[in-house]
């Protein structure tokens, strides 16, 4: 009798366990990307970014494998890798000037080479994020040309530059669609029209209303989706903001954005460390519950300390800033090959390189060798 009861209890336990397994799976399916038609590997990346954020923050750098201090275009090279022996987990890219059909970006990078490096990063298991410093369609100047205040209005439906801008979007879409490994599109985290709460770009808050800004972003994303681009996740990344209402004032909506980010740099050299840390603690404390409520990823989409005058910045400032929050990644800006002093990552011989190795060894940071199967 006891044996039969034991068998029955085991059967009930197994049935309960099988039911218990199904429930998280169903819930997981209801945690999708903003695009309900997102490609399978893109949905998997979204879920795996959520999982990895619970264990550590991925480190990224802009243009890390395209150029660095004293070099440009070398294969299998990155300043970060030369310092710690590992690639970043996140690779940032800039496609400004692609809208004109140019061969080279605003940073003089050949787009064919960029495509090749993006594919290589994907095959290593890395995560790719793209920004677009789009030229001003109203003036013909660059993204920082704010000489006319109606550029955003001009590209919206009915605007004098709408048709031109849609042509630009087509060229961006063509490039994004060309990012493939075999027959499979490579998932991309796209960060358009960033730092919009400031006013140094033509899409900044002084040059368009919240309604116009949201219309610009929605028009862009809708156009990409209509062209069949379902391997893109989108990052919302204002400049630093001090309250929730201001942060979300120009938010296009949960059906458009997958990641909540912020762009903020340490200013005033070493003297600015405390203010930087306090500002970011306030912002991440504010955004963490919002990201959870909206089922979005939280990222530090752009940051750094130009010239790295603080040798222990990596562990004493950046690590302390990001390690208390469920951030998917933090990305520092580029190491310019042609602009002395304009660097944000370590390189061989840089005084902060030793401290960066400590940062790399931390259990709270994730680099290329730490992330596996992000697309499975």
- Cβ-in-10-Å burial (0-12, 13-18, 19+) of 47 comes to middle
- According to DSSP, residue 108 is labeled S
Positive/negative CA dihedral, 67, 265, 314, 272: positive
Measured CA to CA in angstroms, residue 272 lies from 198, 267, 276, 278, 343 at distances of 20, 5, 6, 10, 17
Q: Is 195 a catalytic residue?
A: yes
- The residue annotated as part of the active site, out of 94, 99, 205, 302, is 302
- The residue annotated as part of the active site, out of 94, 99, 195, 205, is 195
34 alpha-carbon distance from chain centroid: 15
Strand partners, 234: 190
Angle (nearest 5°) at CA 21 between 16 and 25: 145
Residues 6+ apart with CB under 8 A from 269: 305, 309, 310
- Cβ-in-10-Å burial (0-12, 13-18, 19+) of 156 comes to middle
Q: Is 302 a catalytic residue?
A: yes
Cβ distance 17 to 205 under 8 Å? no
- Cβ-in-10-Å burial (0-12, 13-18, 19+) of 105 comes to buried
Cβ distance 297 to 260 under 8 Å? yes
* Residues flagged as binding site: 133, 200, 265
> What tokens appear for 183 in the block?
């027959």
* Residues flagged as binding site for substrate: 133, 200, 265
> What tokens appear for 278 in the block?
């306090």
- Residues marked active site are found at 195, 302
């Amino acid at each position: 009798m006891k044996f039969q009861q034991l068998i029955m209890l085991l059967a009930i336990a197994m049935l309960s366990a099988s039911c218990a397994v199904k429930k998280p799976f169903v819930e997981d399916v209801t945690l999708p990307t903003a695009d309900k038609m997102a490609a399978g590997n893109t949905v998997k990346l979204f879920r795996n970014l959520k999982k990895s954020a619970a264990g550590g923050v991925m480190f990224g750098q802009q243009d890390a494998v395209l150029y660095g201090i004293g070099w440009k275009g070398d294969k299998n090279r990155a300043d970060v890798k030369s310092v710690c022996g590992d690639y970043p987990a996140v690779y940032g890219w800039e496609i400004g000037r692609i809208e004109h059909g140019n061969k080279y970006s605003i940073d003089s990078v050949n787009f064919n080479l960029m495509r090749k490096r993006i594919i290589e990063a994907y095959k290593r298991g890395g995560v790719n994020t793209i920004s677009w410093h789009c030229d001003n369609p109203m003036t013909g100047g660059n993204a920082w040309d704010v000489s006319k205040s109606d550029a955003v209005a001009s590209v919206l439906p009915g605007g004098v530059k709408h048709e031109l801008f849609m042509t630009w979007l087509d060229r961006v879409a063509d490039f994004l669609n060309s990012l493939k490994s075999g027959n499979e599109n490579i998932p991309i985290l796209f960060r358009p029209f960033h730092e919009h709460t400031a006013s140094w770009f033509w899409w900044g808050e002084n040059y368009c209303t919240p309604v116009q800004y949201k219309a610009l972003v929605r028009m862009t994303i809708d156009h990409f989706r209509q062209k069949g681009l379902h391997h893109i996740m989108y990052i919302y990344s204002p400049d630093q903001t001090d309250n929730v209402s201001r942060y979300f004032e120009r938010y296009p909506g949960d059906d458009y954005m997958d990641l909540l980010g912020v762009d903020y740099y340490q200013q005033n050299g070493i003297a600015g460390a405390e203010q930087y840390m306090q500002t970011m603690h306030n912002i991440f404390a504010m955004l963490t519950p919002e990201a959870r409520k909206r089922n979005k990823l939280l990222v530090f989409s752009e940051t750094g300390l130009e010239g790295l005058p603080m040798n222990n910045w990596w562990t004493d400032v950046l690590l302390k800033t990001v390690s208390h929050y469920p951030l998917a990644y933090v990305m520092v800006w580029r190491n310019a090959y042609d602009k002395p002093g304009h660097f944000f990552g370590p390189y061989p011989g840089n005084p902060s390189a030793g401290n960066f190795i400590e940062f790399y060894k931390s259990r709270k940071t994730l680099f290329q060798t730490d992330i596996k199967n992000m697309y499975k």
